[in-house]
Chain A
């Protein structure tokens, strides 16, 4: 049981169960939460945040951070809406291709010019955001194919939709790839210790562009399908998706220090966030509460993962002991530790 709790990828599911039970207790037989409608709306939200969270999570697993996903989300939506009027699949394909090319470009620049990922992807975020404004002419453009919009969102098997099924398929593929292939192992190795991985023969210079290309593709896929489902696209987006995506990757067990976390864990993290928001909505709390909860979780995890947390806590405990508890004894122990 303890091993289960300690497993980073299982933790989000435990959290999910706890939230579900809490909602059930709150609901108390009115049957408002546990309907197929709630499950459907949770999965629809999952389809929006999931792909971005997966891409971001992959970049965090190699100890980088892809800020550009927000820009890619809006640009790919615009590309898909503009080119997919006749052949919707073509629009998605072009958007994903754009994500692939841009992600690979960013990764290559990082390797080639030895730059940090945050700087390059910050430039990418601003450039992609600008491009999205340019291709739409600074307007909100509508997608003429309502049939596609409906097809993307129509319930399949009561709770799924085409959009959420695509997102789930992407997660399954990523989970298989990360757990069962050599390249997946190499990705983890790159994230835990890049130099050691390089010495061990991992081609880290190829892993970086590949992971960023995946991240770009996933963001583009999510953006294209989201714009189809909304039947509209515009240049305005940027960080709106970034914060929930980061939060769900972190809740899903991805470590900020790299090398830890799985796609299955990220699924759990996204579901936790979506269920929480659906539950809070159903209770009738304002949407701002969800911001506060997301922010609180992010801050807590950031501090829990912080480099100097343990020494600071130790120093604080010691200070506490010296000041208030047993002054004489703690001073003596401080002396002996100094002598060592």
Chain B
């Protein structure tokens, strides 16, 4: 009886689930080789394991990581990426700072609802009308940027006092952003692996029509994915605003690209239906490791930009191997 209830991975945890096709196994081999090479380079780099601990590395990636977890849901649902998460982050931060005089919990909830609302509207367009997700996110980018600039007159929001101090502290000795990031990853992974919504999301992402034929409501699930993305992004926005004690439109500049890079480097398929939140955590971490390694070897910032671009391009090209089954 238990044999049938427990999934294979839990019954035989020592068995690594390898893909059945040859090309799929090649992909796994390349990924493992790349990881080993990275570890070897890290081990050969003086000062990597001493000066930069895993912890502080993770710490630097926590903001991007939160957005990447949100982006993962959009990518998994088969809608590639959103260009509007960066402005969602900035505007959620602004809203948080603007509502802060009414108290921290209210500001926190209002900012989260605001972020979820912004992406939720895009989710309706993409899910219910099946509009082109890339164009919708570009439209949202222009609309939100323009609207926010008009409302704030291009000024940042600097609250009096320090009501957000609680978000700048530590939780069980862990810096708040990192704690929030880890919590987000764990929650997201639980949602993806163990809830009905998560399993349905994978199905919609890998094949919309099959999901429809199986009696699911793909539109609602895509809307859910966008709302989750908005929640994660707003959380990052709140924490960033708290850290810098200001809400500003510049807050999330360039985060769309960092987030989708982390998602793709982690191994989530850009075509949707395959991937996980933990992979995005790994992806964000790997990018940070690469940046630190390049820095320790004396390469400049611009080389880091190029390296990330080349890695993302390479990873996308590798994904053709995964589609062979």
Query: Are B306 and A292 neighbours in the complex by a CB distance under 8 Å?
Result: no
| A41 CB-CB contact with B under 8 Å | no
Would you list which residues of chain B between 99 and 136 have a CB under 8 Å from chain A? 125, 128-132, 134-136
Query: Are A286 and B143 neighbours in the complex by a CB distance under 8 Å?
Result: no
In the complex, identify which listed stretch (A92-100, A158-166, A305-313) lies at the interface while the others stay far away.
A305-313
Query: Are B83 and A113 neighbours in the complex by a CB distance under 8 Å?
Result: no
Q: How far is the CA of A124 from the CA of B317 in the complex (A)?
A: 11
Residues of A within 8 A of B254 (CB): 238
Query: Are A126 and B312 neighbours in the complex by a CB distance under 8 Å?
Result: yes
Closest to A118 in B: B80
| B288 CB-CB contact with A under 8 Å | no
Residues of B within 8 A of A243 (CB): 138, 141-142
| A144 CB-CB contact with B under 8 Å | no
Residues of A within 8 A of B142 (CB): 243, 247, 291-292, 294-295, 298
Residues of A within 8 A of B260 (CB): 122
Query: Are B150 and A288 neighbours in the complex by a CB distance under 8 Å?
Result: yes
Query: Are B146 and A295 neighbours in the complex by a CB distance under 8 Å?
Result: yes
Query: Are B128 and A308 neighbours in the complex by a CB distance under 8 Å?
Result: yes
Query: Are A130 and B306 neighbours in the complex by a CB distance under 8 Å?
Result: yes
| A83 CB-CB contact with B under 8 Å | no
Q: Chain A binding site: helix, strand, loop or mixed by DSSP?
A: helix
| A327 CB-CB contact with B under 8 Å | no
Query: Are B131 and A306 neighbours in the complex by a CB distance under 8 Å?
Result: yes
Residues of B within 8 A of A286 (CB): 149-150
Q: Which of B147, B154, B270, B314 contacts A118 (CB 8 A)?
A: B270
Query: Are B302 and A119 neighbours in the complex by a CB distance under 8 Å?
Result: no
Residues of A within 8 A of B302 (CB): 130, 133-134, 136-138, 235
Query: Are A288 and B145 neighbours in the complex by a CB distance under 8 Å?
Result: yes
Query: Are B316 and A122 neighbours in the complex by a CB distance under 8 Å?
Result: yes
| B26 CB-CB contact with A under 8 Å | no
| A266 CB-CB contact with B under 8 Å | no
Query: Are B303 and A289 neighbours in the complex by a CB distance under 8 Å?
Result: no
Residues of A within 8 A of B306 (CB): 127, 130-131, 133-134
Would you list which residues of chain B between 158 and 191 have a CB under 8 Å from chain A? none
Residues of A within 8 A of B140 (CB): 295, 299
Provide the A270-309 mask, 1 if CB < 8 A to any CB of B, else 0. 0000000000000000101111111111110111011111
Residues of B within 8 A of A187 (CB): none
In the complex with contacts A134-B302, A312-B128, A115-B143 CB distance below 8 A: no
Residues of A within 8 A of B143 (CB): 291-292, 295-296, 299
Q: Chain B binding site: helix, strand, loop or mixed by DSSP?
A: helix
The interface size of chain A toward B, counting residues with CB under 8 Å, comes to 56
Q: How far is the CA of A128 from the CA of B313 in the complex (A)?
A: 11
Residues of B within 8 A of A122 (CB): 81, 260, 270, 312, 316
Residues of A within 8 A of B315 (CB): 123
Residues of B within 8 A of A126 (CB): 257, 261, 305, 308-309, 312-313
Query: Are B270 and A119 neighbours in the complex by a CB distance under 8 Å?
Result: yes
Residues of A within 8 A of B130 (CB): 306-309
Query: Are B129 and A298 neighbours in the complex by a CB distance under 8 Å?
Result: no
Q: How far is the CA of A250 from the CA of B320 in the complex (A)?
A: 30
Residues of A within 8 A of B307 (CB): 130
Residues of B within 8 A of A296 (CB): 139, 143
Expressed in whole angstroms, the minimum distance between the Cβ of A279 and any Cβ of chain B is: 16
Q: How far is the CA of A331 from the CA of B302 in the complex (A)?
A: 65
| A36 CB-CB contact with B under 8 Å | no
Q: How far is the CA of A122 from the CA of B270 in the complex (A)?
A: 11
Query: Are B257 and A238 neighbours in the complex by a CB distance under 8 Å?
Result: yes
Q: How far is the CA of A113 from the CA of B27 in the complex (A)?
A: 14
Would you list which residues of chain B between 175 and 228 have a CB under 8 Å from chain A? 219
| B43 CB-CB contact with A under 8 Å | no
Residues of A within 8 A of B134 (CB): 65, 67, 118
Determine which residue in B125, B131, B135, B146 has the highest number of CB atoms from chain A within 10 A of its CB, and name it: B135
| B271 CB-CB contact with A under 8 Å | yes
Residues of B within 8 A of A118 (CB): 80, 134, 270
| A140 CB-CB contact with B under 8 Å | no
Expressed in whole angstroms, the minimum distance between the Cβ of B212 and any Cβ of chain A is: 10
Query: Are A130 and B138 neighbours in the complex by a CB distance under 8 Å?
Result: no
| B53 CB-CB contact with A under 8 Å | no
Expressed in whole angstroms, the minimum distance between the Cβ of A57 and any Cβ of chain B is: 13
Would you list which residues of chain B between 286 and 325 have a CB under 8 Å from chain A? 300-303, 305-310, 312-317, 319-320, 323
Closest 8 CB pairs of A and B: A291-B146, A123-B313, A295-B142, A130-B306, A295-B143, A126-B309, A127-B309, A298-B139
**A interface residue numbers (CB < 8 A to B):** 65, 67, 109, 113-116, 118-120, 122-131, 133-134, 136-138, 235, 238-239, 242-243, 246-247, 250, 256, 286, 288-299, 301-303, 305-309, 312
* Pairs A–B under 8 Å by Cβ, sample size 12: A115-B317, A119-B80, A122-B260, A123-B314, A126-B308, A134-B303, A243-B141, A288-B146, A291-B146, A298-B138, A306-B131, A308-B128
